[in-house]
Amino acid sequence: MSYDKVEVPEDGEAITLADEETGELDVPENPIIPIIHGDGIGTDVGPAAQQVLDAAAEATGRSIAWMRVYAGASARDKYGENLPEDTVSAIREHRVAIKGPLTTPVGSGFRSLNVALRKTLDAYANVRPTYYLDGVPSPVKAPEKMDMVIFRENTEDVYAGIEWEAGTDEVETVRAFVEDEMGVDDVIHDGPVGIGIKPITEFGSKRLIREAFDYALENDRDSVTLVHKGNIMKFTEAAFRDWGYELAEEEYGDELITEDELWDEHDGDQPEGTVVVKDRIADNMLQQVLTRTDEYDVIATMNLNGDYFSDAAGAQIGGLGIAPGINRGHGRALAEPVHGSAPKYAGEDKVNPTAMILSGREMLDYLGWKDAADLVRDAVEETISSGKVTYDLHRQIDGGEKLATSEFADAIVENIEKLS
């Protein structure tokens, strides 16, 4: 494919789909990987992540041929548009990419570029690994108990964008339909109303939960917890739970066991190689994540619950500067940190690039480069636990050495060289 607004690196090869059915990729040793540095602090954390990921690739005998693509402010400056078609096509064609944060204006202006990108790639699973790194200051007593991977559904729920504004003809049409055709009386108060629709499909639920089950089995995890509010929302959130158990039975046989089976048939002694499937009500789960942290492992949940839950869990292990993420679809992935563009710190070479670097680590893992991924994690942990940190962590610890974004990236690269 040729592009006007993207330069294709000459020293790399494209990642291709090896198996249409499973989504498995064929990854060369020098893959072309599109990168969006992003808006605001993206200009600081983007290059820092690139430097660290290059070092990890090199230390494991590989290389990354970066393909700079543009979105947000950088695309407006260069091409006068927010999201050039070439950016989307390059990411689609090359299958695995990484992006920094993009600014979204509240209430007006253009719709979120992040949402647009995830939608175009049909990246239906937002995966947020939430684990503790030694040395990171935390607001809880035992942050090391946290080691969860949260799978948040990315395309449905009240986030699907099916909603109508108060005072419009459309919303009154929906109100009339609900009241007159569906017979829902005395629920919607008189006067202006905004209405949204919450679609939860069997297809969307099962493909998300399948990703979580497969991940748990491949990575020797103990359990997958389906988090829902099915006691109140019976036909959406309870359906998600039911489809999860149905999928476990239909496709996984003895590899997956329910919590009841664990106790009734195995006296609580989990057989080797199995994953326990359990479910919890969302509000209870927000307590349990604090009080019984180490009883939870892989989590699968819908869009809104997942948004709240992953930020709450992320706070326990050090918050926004640390929390990584990756959006995964069928043979496609887009890694991105959880944090936004924090415009007031943009270009100051000050903020913490850990979240972007660890998102890159998830990307390496998705490529199947587990050795390089582990090296990144170990080098980041080694750097932070030796007291070398950026300002956000430095102000929360005693002593330590306050480093700029670029100096912190240099220190991680040094540790990669030492550890490899």
262 binds ligand NAD (CB under 6 A): no
> Would you count residue 152 as binding ligand NAD (CB under 6 A)?
no
Residue ranges with strand state E in 163-315: 163-164, 195-196, 223-228, 256-258, 275-281, 298-301
Tokens of 104: 């979204």
- Annotated catalytic residue 242: no
3-state helix, strand, coil in the chain (%, to 5): 45, 15, 40
Q: Applying CB under 6 A, which of residues 50, 60, 87, 103 lies at the interface with ligand NAD? A: 103
Site string for ligand NAD, 309-348 (x = CB under 6 A): -----------xx--------------x--xxxx------
- Give the number of residues in contact with ligand NAD, rule: CB under 6 A: 18
Q: Quick one: 46 or 321, whose CB is closer to ligand NAD?
A: 321
Q: Is 236 or 359 the residue whose CB approaches ligand NAD more closely?
A: 359
Q: Least distance in Å: CB of 148 to ligand NAD?
A: 20
- Bridge partners for 299 per DSSP: 150, 225
118 is in an annotated binding site: yes
Burial class (CB in 10 A: 0-12, 13-18, 19+), 65: middle
Instruction: Compute, in degrees rounded to 10, the torsion defined by CA atoms 194, 198, 199, 202.
Output: -170
- Integer angstrom CA distances of residue 20 from 202, 216, 385: 21, 22, 43
The reply to whether 410 belongs to the active site is: no
Q: Which is nearer to ligand NAD, 164 or 408 (CB)?
A: 408
Cα separation, 8 vs 98, whole angstroms: 16
Token readout for 273 is 């190689």
Site string for ligand NAD, 34-73 (x = CB under 6 A): -------x---x----------------------------
Contacts (CB under 6 A) with ligand NAD, residues 337-396? 339-342, 351-352, 355, 392
Alpha carbons 80 and 414: distance in angstroms, whole number: 39
Q: Please report, for residues 56, 282, 307, 391, 408, the alpha-carbon distance to residue 53 in angstroms, rounded to integers and kept in the order given.
A: 5, 36, 27, 22, 14
Active-site annotation, residues: 159, 229, 283, 307
What residues line the site for ligand NAD (CB under 6 A)? 41, 45, 101-104, 114, 320-321, 336, 339-342, 351-352, 355, 392
Annotated binding residues for Mg(2+), written as ranges, equal 307
Annotated binding residues for D-threo-isocitrate, written as ranges, equal 112, 114, 118, 128, 152
